[in-house]
Amino acid sequence: MSPVVRRRVVLAVCAVVLVGIGALGGVLLTSRPDPGGHPADIAFSQDMIVHHQQAVDMAELVRGRASPQVAAIAAGIAAAQRKEIGLFQGWLSLWNAPMVATGEGHAGHSGAPMPGLASIPDLHRLEDATGDDLDIWFLQLMVRHHQGGVRMADAAARTAHRQQVRDVAKVVAADQQREIATMTGLLTSLGRSPLPAP
């Protein structure tokens, strides 16, 4: 990839991240849930904290090792998802609910594994990868991770009790869809395809 194309990709990624953060900020400025959490809202917030934290962890695994365009995507994802984690933690604190459901690891409130989560071997492979293999594996894992996150957010956009929670879920889904499109385009430029959707 030429330096000019690389710069354009990095600028495009930054624009996508800024649009997403701006949209979430708009929801936050107009959305203040009332005290007393509904079980559906609590479950969504708790599950998204766990799901988002793995995305942040994956982004940290490639920091300083990935190509500039992938590093820009990873940094943008980490920043956006940390901000959303803070929002969900704030809601749970307001509702006097635990940050993570008791006994919850990689399973959501349904008892099934949360969609899109990377396995421990997946993460070890990411940690050991270098060069194009690192970029490709990160993008493939993160696309699949985001696809799972979109499924969770779409469900909350339909079923959450509070309008504020439904609104944020819609923003999360839209932001991750945009990032999926960007990462899929980068995979195509590297001659690879996404993993099967979760």
Burial of 195 (0-12, 13-18, 19+ CB in 10 A): middle
* Cα–Cα distance for residue pair 85/99, rounded to 1 Å: 10
Sign of the alpha-carbon dihedral angle for 61, 72, 52, 107: negative
Counting Cα atoms < 13 Å in the Cβ hemisphere of 2 gives 3
Indicate the domain borders of the chain.
3-189
Q: Give the pLDDT of residue 7.
A: 54
Q: Give the pLDDT of residue 100.
A: 87
* 3 state DSSP class of 108: coil
CB proximity list for 81: less than 8 A, separation 6 or greater: 52, 53, 55, 56
The pTM assigned to this predicted structure is 0.80
* Cα–Cα distance for residue pair 110/165, rounded to 1 Å: 19
Q: Give the pLDDT of residue 172.
A: 97
3-189 topology per CATH: Ferritin (1.20.1260)
Q: Give the pLDDT of residue 10.
A: 47
Residues of the chain where predicted confidence (pLDDT) is lower than 50: 4-5, 9-11, 14, 16-19, 21, 23, 25-31, 33
